A = this chain, B = another copy of it.
Amino acid sequence: MKLENTTFKTPIHEISSLFYNENTMYMKRDDLQPFSFGGNKVRIARRILEDMYASGCDTLITYGNKRSNLCRVTTNMCAALGVKCYMISVTDDDHGVKKAFNGEMAHLFKAEVVECAKADVDATVAKVKETVIANGGKPYYINEAKGVVNQASTYINVYSEIIEQSKEFGGFDYIFCASGSGTTQAGLILGKLMHPDCENGPKIVGISTARVYERGVMKLNEHINGYFDFNGKEKPSNDKISAEINLSTDYLCGGYTFFDDDIKNACTDMLIKNGIELDPTYTGKAYVGCEKYLRDNGIKGKKVLFIHTGGLPLFFDLMNEN
């Protein structure tokens, strides 16, 4: 398998909205990325693997939980490329989930799954690294400085891709996306900050699926500043950066993995109305948040793009639970 075949320029098209029809809704179909059931994590995993090779490393250490799309994609990509892979699986975030296709697949892809509590992550990663080195390998941990910069910079190019594609629709006023780790939103913001026409670009709004406001904004700032620092690039002013960080935590629904009937119904309603599935943990929560944000802020008559960041196996988890 060739890494270059794992991603492509995904289409954008209009969709029927679920609750409110006072804006024109569009979707960027990153859920169609042609590897491991698609999603933003395919773009991110490809970048991580390319950097792992460039760094002379040979063993990936990935991080997540049973529901993690990033873990499914990274373990699959490692399996396809013949790269040894460890998965640090944080059990605190499981919240009682028994069966999750993403987690099952990490086993199918023969990743070495190492379970631990959140408090023990650093110690566990250190131990796994020691094991890798003792066996003559060179570990690459995705959540170390360089790995995080790579994750947060993947969507820089996607911002340009969207601006290019948006011409067909006369430009977008808003871009919405799910904001969990914050890397996708940070990448989009970086893309906008470095775009020659930044001033006229669409407003980027992240709908938090996990973090409370202070922590979410702190992480976005870390990702954005981290990129400029790591690459030794001239940084926009703090005010300019802050102005681009729009994170809504109003639709968090109690935190990571929690959802209400609106979110649950949106996952099947989006399929019924548009032939597109969502999931209650990430994209369904973010999409409902997007439409409610538009309503609650009195936004009307705008062109709104929602980025579908994937998570297809989680839709089938929901089907199994019903």
Identify the A interface with B (CB < 8 A).
Answer: 1-2, 5-6, 8, 11, 13-16, 29, 32, 34-37, 76-77, 79-80, 101, 104-105, 108-109, 268, 271-277, 312-313, 316, 319-320
B29 and A13 within 8 A (CB): no
10 closest Cβ pairs, A-B complex = A35-B275, A36-B275, A5-B13, A316-B316, A79-B272, A1-B16, A32-B32, A1-B274, A76-B275, A29-B34
Question: 30 A-B residue contacts at CB 8 Å?
Answer: A1-B16, A1-B273, A1-B274, A5-B13, A5-B14, A5-B15, A6-B275, A16-B80, A32-B32, A34-B275, A34-B276, A35-B275, A36-B271, A37-B277, A76-B275, A79-B273, A80-B272, A80-B273, A80-B274, A80-B275, A101-B316, A104-B319, A108-B268, A108-B271, A108-B272, A109-B272, A312-B312, A313-B316, A316-B316, A316-B319
CB distance from A73 to the nearest CB of B (A): 8
CB distance from A113 to the nearest CB of B (A): 16
Known: A1-B15, A101-B319, A316-B316. 11 other contacts (CB 8 A): A1-B16, A1-B273, A1-B274, A1-B275, A5-B15, A32-B32, A32-B34, A76-B271, A77-B275, A79-B272, A80-B274
B16 and A34 within 8 A (CB): no
> How far does the alpha carbon of A8 sit from the alpha carbon of B277 in the complex, in Å?
18
Q: Which residues of B contact A109 (CB under 8 A)?
A: 272
* A76-B275, A320-B320 known; A34 vs B11 contact (CB < 8 Å): yes
> How far does the alpha carbon of A5 sit from the alpha carbon of B16 in the complex, in Å?
11
B76 and A272 within 8 A (CB): yes
- Residue of A37, A101, A104, A272 with most partner-chain B CB within 10 A: A272
Q: Which residues of B contact A277 (CB under 8 A)?
A: 37
A13 and B37 within 8 A (CB): no
> How far does the alpha carbon of A80 sit from the alpha carbon of B272 in the complex, in Å?
6
Q: Which residues of B contact A36 (CB under 8 A)?
A: 271, 275
Q: Which residues of B contact A35 (CB under 8 A)?
A: 274-276
> How far does the alpha carbon of A11 sit from the alpha carbon of B76 in the complex, in Å?
20
Q: Which residues of B contact A105 (CB under 8 A)?
A: 271
> How far does the alpha carbon of A141 sit from the alpha carbon of B292 in the complex, in Å?
40
Q: Which residues of B contact A76 (CB under 8 A)?
A: 271-272, 275
> How far does the alpha carbon of A316 sit from the alpha carbon of B104 in the complex, in Å?
11
CB closest residue in chain B, given A273: B80
CB closest residue in chain B, given A15: B1
CB closest residue in chain B, given A45: B275
Q: Which residues of B contact A79 (CB under 8 A)?
A: 272-273
CB distance from A17 to the nearest CB of B (A): 11
Q: Which residues of B contact A316 (CB under 8 A)?
A: 101, 313, 316, 319
Q: Which residues of B contact A80 (CB under 8 A)?
A: 16, 272-275
CB closest residue in chain B, given A5: B13
> How far does the alpha carbon of A77 sit from the alpha carbon of B108 in the complex, in Å?
33
> How far does the alpha carbon of A8 sit from the alpha carbon of B29 in the complex, in Å?
12
CB distance from A82 to the nearest CB of B (A): 10
